[in-house]
Structure 1
Amino acid sequence: MLIRRASNQELHFIQSYAPIVQQEATLGYMNGNAQMINYDMTQHYKGEYHVIVEKGVLCGWILIGETQMPYKEEVIGMILELYVLPRWRKHGCGEALMRYALEICKKKGFGKVQLNVFAGNNAKKLYDKLGFHDVSTMMERNI
C-alpha cells in the first residue's frame, strides 16, 4: 500500500463522501449537516489530505492539520479526519494512515498530536493502541 498526498480528483471524491464520513464518525449525532460538510477544515487548520491506495485503488484518507492550543503557546498537530472505505476496513489501512500522520507531525516538530473522537466510535480502540489518551470529556443531557 502507498500513502501520499491526495490528488485533485481524489479531493473531489473525498468531498463527495463528506456526509457519509460525518454520519459515521459522529455515530449519527451529525447527520449530513450541510454547514459542517461545507466547512473547510483544510483552511482553518492548515490541513492536508493524504490517501492510502492499493494498486491504484483508493482505500482511505487522513486529514492532517495543525492548530494553536488555546491554553498554551504551542502549535500542535491535529488529526482532523480518518476514513477507511468499508471494503478496506480490517486490512491495516487506518493504522498505516495514523502512523504516517504521526511521522509527518514529528517531522514538522510538533510536540503533541490531538484528535477528537465521539464516544462509542470503534476508531477509539486504534487511537488507544497508538498511545493517545483522554484529555477532556464533553457531556450533554437532553432537557
Structure 2
Amino acid sequence: MEQRVLNIEEIDLLESCLIELAAYHNKVSTHFNSIYPLKPYHETLNTMKKQMRESSGIVNGLLLDGEIIGFCKISFERKSGTLDYLYVNKKYRNRGYGRLLMDWAMKEFQRNDVEIIDLKIVAGNSADKMYKKYGFQPQLTVMSKIIE
C-alpha cells in the first residue's frame, strides 16, 4: 500500500470513490437518503483541481496495486482548515486506513498553521466516532428541508 499526495492529473480517478461515497451517504443518512451527491461529480473534481492549483487544497491518496482505495481532501484559508473528504473503499475499512489519512490531515493542518478545523458529517454516518477520537466536537447543527 502506498500513501502519497495526488497530483492534479490523478484527481479525475477519484470519481468512482465519490460515487461510492454518495451511495454510502444515501444509505446511512438519517433523513435524506436520496439527495447525494449534492452537486455533479465533475464540479467536485474541478473544485479539487482549482484548489490544488491555488495551493489552498491537497488530496492524499491510498493506492494498492495502482488503484486508489482511499483518499482525504483538505483545504485551508488563513488560519481555518476544512476536512472536505475522507473516504476508504468499503473492502478496506476497519484496517486503520482512515486513521492513516486522518493522521496525515492533522499534520498538514499543523504544518499550515491552521488553528481551527471544520468538517461536515452526514447524520447517521458512524465515522463520527473516529472524528471524536481526534478531538472534534459539534459546533453547530445544520438543518435542511427538501422542497417538493
| TM-score normalised over the length of structure 1 | 0.78
Distance 1:29 1:112, change over 3 A: farther
CA distance 1:32–1:116, shift in 2 (3 Å): closer
Within-5 A mapping of 1:1-143: 1-7=1-7, 10-25=10-25, 27=29, 28-33=33-38, 35-37=39-41, 38-39=43-44, 40-42=46-48, 43=50, 46-54=56-64, 56-67=66-77, 75-140=79-144
Report the Cα distance in structure 2 between the residues aligned to 1:25 and 1:98, rounded to whole angstroms: 19
The Cα RMSD (Å) is 2.6
- CA deviations on 1:54-83 (whole Å, 9 max, x unpaired) are 46553310001114xxxxxx5311110010
Letter in 2 for 1:79: L
**Cα separation, 2, equivalents of 1:118 and 1:94:** 17
Instruction: Give the number of equivalent residue pairs.
Output: 136
Q: Quick one: distance in 2 between partners of 1:48 and 1:128?
A: 23
Q: For 1:121, what is the secondary structure of its paired residue?
A: coil
Structure 2: give runs of 5+ residues left out of the alignment.
none
With structure 2 as the length reference, what TM-score do the two structures score?
A: 0.76
> In structure 2, how many angstroms separate the alpha carbons of the residues matched to 1:140 and 1:63?
24
Name the CA distance, whole Å, in 2 between partners of 1:100 and 1:56. Answer: 20
More helix by share: 2
Deviations 1:67-122 (A, max 9, x none): 4xxxxxx5311110010011110001011101110100101111111111011101
1:3/1:52 contact within 8 Å kept: yes
Q: After superposing the two structures, state which structure 1 stretch, 125-134 or 19-28, moved more.
A: 19-28
Identical columns (%): 23
Contiguous gaps of at least 5 residues in structure 1: 68-73
